[in-house]
Structure 1
Amino acid sequence: MAMMLQLNIVLSTLISVTASSDVFGLVDSSVQLDIRHPVLEFDELLWVFNRTNNVLNYYTELKKTEQYPGNEGRVEFNEETYSLTLKNLQKTDSGLYEAKASGNKVRVVAEYRLSVLDPVEAPVLTHQLSRDTCNITLTCRGHDLSISSSCYKETCEEKEVTSPGGIPLSLSVSGSTIICNHSNPVSWKKDVLEMKELKRLCADEGEGSVSPFAGVSVCFLKTVLYSIILTLMLSAVITVHIRERLTKSS
């Protein structure tokens, strides 16, 4: 009965002075969890994972830290700011982290909900020229997402889609660059296409639609021209020779 009464007293003195904040970390990287509110006098400061797993305890009077099993070498504690740094993050580190300062009362002075994510895959941006001159279709692909957009000359339609997990894929234009961007809260990768490439494709298509000599080399054209001239000259000589013979015969 006495133990239950003591437990109820402890629970009744647990006070939260901060709201939970969402933070994100990249696999194999580090993240720092800070105390956002001033911490008054306390005897111990305990960082806890998912409410039940102790990570690190700091004893004020002794100025000593204690790391709990499974966290040795993976956490760092700042004795001046009381911040906790988690190193070599893995997806299993995702969850709720709380800092509890205990003295006359137990106060939650920091609370974070950490999500550890993989880096995004590099997207791929492709283009295809349609039958209509200067009408180009762009395709932006990233993981299981895809965007198709159309461009006419230097005007392109911008689009964005988001996966069910909240990972966006976007196709946008910045100055003279078309950007296919794939990102999450901790990483981003892109593939780009210069607008001058679309102008070149448009110009090539335009030339091909009006010139009958597209793709024919200059050397070949010169050879044909010289052959025609020689044929004409030879024909003229033969004609003159025939006329002279006919004149003499008459």
Structure 2
Amino acid sequence: MIIFVYNDFFIIVFSGFSSQTRFIQTNRDLLLTVTEEVQLGERDQFNWKFNDKNNIIRLLGGEEVVSFAAYENRAEFFKQNLSLRLKNVQLNDSGIYTAVVSGRKDVTLSTYDVRVEVSPVLLSVDSVFNSSESCNFTVSCTTELSPSISRSFTCNRHTCEEASPAPSDPAPSLQLYLSDVSIICNHSNHVSWRKDTKEKQQVCPFGNELILMFDFVSTRC
């Protein structure tokens, strides 16, 4: 047990500091808890903070709860046990979350290193223009959250190349490109990786008949 005295009020903290790493997918709710028992004095504060500088929620004197604008509709605070629920987490919610009680000094009760994993990704073929010697096709890469990206490619029997220079992507965590044999949609960040692929030969078979193996619209030149 640690006892802090501030302006004749006591901050009593039972047990010790804890630190954890949490992995969570996008669109899920994140629950952060304080395992220590805390008794706040009338002038004391309890805060949940993000990356040590952004306040999420503040409890004043054990009674008044202050929600900060950036989290007002996303954070749910449970005063009885000081836990925090962060709703619908996104990639930019990755970071360090701390539970801090403040008197004359700041005392960190819990620290969470939260790492938001990327959501599943879908590669779809939007259109194909096929002939016996060439094939032009457009593909899209989408996730649940990020804006979709699309690319158009031109292939002959030997090589494929992008039909025009790639635009700047609205979602930097998404990549859409060709390998020797595949079309690849990649969704990644520093802790996770998802991908979806299709074989180029299945999209552009260069035969007399176009094999309809995917859900797309095909137009023969």
Greater C-alpha Rg: 1
TM-score normalised by length of structure 1? 0.41
**Higher fraction of strand:** 2
**Higher fraction of helix:** 1
TM-score normalised by length of structure 2? 0.45
